Amino acid sequence: MNPNPRSSPAFTSQTITLPHLPELYKSNFLDILLPAPAEDPVAAIKNAPPASENPMISALEDIGNQVRTENDAPALRSTKSPLLDAFHRPTAYQPSDQIGKLFEAAWEEDPEITLRIIFYLRSIHDGKNDRKLFYKAWSWLYANHPRTAIGNLHKLVEPVCERKLRKGDERQLPGMSHGYWKDLLNILCLVATNRLGLSVHYNHGWGSRVWKLSNVPCRQDQQNDRYQYLCKKLSEDPKFKALYIAVARLFVDQLVSDASLQDKLETIAQLLHSGREPQPWIYPSSLSNFDHTEPLSVEQARTLRSYLQRWFLQPLRTQSKCPEPLMSANKWSSINYSHVPSVCMSNNSKRFMKHDYERFSTYMFNVSIGKKTIAGATLLPHEILMRLMEYDIDLNLVDKEKAEKEDGVDRLTKKFLETQIAVASAQWNTLVDRLRQSGSIENSIAVCDVSGSMGLLNEYKERKDPKPLFPALAMSILLATLAKPPFDKGFITFSANPEYVKLNELAGMANNMRKMVGTSWSMNTDLQKVFTELLLPLAKKHDVRKEDMIKRLFVFSDMQFDAGTVDYYNKLAGEKWGTTYDTIKKEYEAAGYDVPEIVYWDLGKADTVEVNADREGVAMMKGFSAGMMKVFLGEQEGEEDAMLVDIDSKEEGDLVAVGGMEAKKDAMTPIGIMKKAVMNKSFDGLAVLD
């Protein structure tokens, strides 16, 4: 018997009924509400005649494309490829109309690749893992191509990302999704309140909390107004109705599937181990925040709502062992820490230690010796690094003598901080192990920008809007960890004077992080010195052979380089415009060396690029996600970049036996790397529908 019947969902003060939606029960609801175009949209664009080019106009466009960085180095405004611009240039901090222009131009060139780029922005495991930027890009898609936007939403939650295993491991593990179920609810709520694509709903951490007092009648009035607006929107806006129905049907289909499987197995735990990971957002509480905007759980009456909550949703949530309900019910001993998601673990490890110290300590010890696993592959590298820095600095401030006493605040604080460091370090190891399953990096080294424009180390607590310095350091350490010997020992930092930082893998992440604090940092951003005053002079001095030179450098920076030593006014007057890369290339060629391939990894907010889309030997990436590095992993082991060429009968082009084949590797270009990233098979199935 419920001691407080008024707390039952049947007695909610919310209006839970909706207008009749006959399309809700029809699988072809999208064709009814948003009919398909008469002509194939992809064929119409691909069959369009190419635009005519004029040499004079092209020359004028080239001049207009020339810009300067904040530190006065030559740069470019655009890559001259709409597709690459849409892949590389957008950031979550740009206005939606500016982002929309980039995707509009890209769509006119190739709608299929543009659609892949949009979902690449969201992909946690195979893309940028930038939820805010994806929402803005999807808002443009929804406004201009609603049938395509709604018809592909299921790809956000389907387990399409392959989980690679080490050689010899024959387990059948479930795939992973590009996003999570909460994305569907976020998108629906933002569209319902006309805030999709805006930045007003994001808490960037720039201000302080503002407390607002409002009485209950006022809140009820607001709920009634929202309900009336929702009903009107469902009745008058076919796009929103189609979106609402699509999201509702996705949840219903998944709930029915889960309930059916639950009937076949004794417990949901057996189901999870047999091929499915827990997805707590599949089972939203009927009293969740999302119901205050759209009641998704039921659309008929309070009785059905109460039945759904008590006999359908609650058993599923209970048996899925979601940690939050167990924490609220003070059932800490029932939490399975191996199944706690990475963000939940980061946010609640302090509570786990406080309420379940013995079990949590044992679990962390088992993680350290490899007997247990901890979630961490979905976290961004800099998030782990910044937490690790905070806890390590706080630990050094603890009074060591007081901490040795049997009781007292300092001893408890020391134990807590040591546990937090252990959690962060274990999550870092999980992230590294997941990436290593995709391969290693050959003949490559990281170049990390530590100049003043990148931020300061004492800003490690600003996690909601991190300075570029922390992603640069985290990605540099990550690349050094993934690189094959002898390039796995460290990375190069550059500001005014470049310096090689040697890492010790056995020392652990925390000790390596402390070593970085002692490197030479200043206000300059002189990338050119890394090549012309460090690497090239060393090669000349020791007569290093071409084949022994570093083949590829990953430059992690905000890309606001210093102007070179050459007087750029003279260059503007008589010579061809050249970026920092052009100057480096000339220096290497003059010394008889091939310039190494360079991956410009942009971590800043400025809208400049280093090279055009077809520049050989260069790639451009932008974002904080470690998953983006997969495009460079395992290149020597896979065949993604290799093209089979018939060396015996090239004129006919016939394929011959393996013995008559040679592998030809395409030259690395920015547009080529972009296509390799978005052509990952996890994005197969995305379809342009309008």
Q: How far apart are CA 344 and CA 346, in angstroms?
A: 5
The reported pLDDT for the residue numbered 405 is 64
pLDDT tens readout for residues 484-512? 888 887 888 887 778 888 887 666 676 77
* Residue 267, both tokens: 């417990």
* Phi, psi dihedral angles at 153 (to 5 degrees): -60, -30
Please say whether the beta carbons of 245 and 21 come within 8 A. yes
Which pTM does this prediction carry? 0.84
The reported pLDDT for the residue numbered 661 is 34
The reported pLDDT for the residue numbered 99 is 94
Distant-in-sequence, close-in-space partners of 676: CB < 8 Å, separation ≥ 6: 631, 640, 641
The reported pLDDT for the residue numbered 625 is 92
Domains defined along the chain, listed by start: 9-35+80-159+175-199+220-329 (no CATH), 344-431 (no CATH), 440-629 (3.40.50.410), 637-670 (no CATH)
The length of the chain in residues reads 690
The reported pLDDT for the residue numbered 371 is 83
- Buried/exposed 67-83: b ≥16 CB within 10 Å, e otherwise: eebbeebbbbebbbbbb
pLDDT tens readout for residues 106-146? 999 999 999 999 999 999 999 999 999 999 999 999 999 99
The reported pLDDT for the residue numbered 255 is 84
HEC string for 97-127: HHHHHHHHHHHHHCHHHHHHHHHHHHCCCCC
| Segments of the chain scoring below 50 in pLDDT | 1-3, 5-6, 266, 268-278, 281, 287, 292-293, 295-300, 565-575, 636-665
Outline where 560-653 has alpha helix (H).
568-574, 580-590
- What is the DSSP track for 192-217? HTT-TT-STT---S-S--------HH
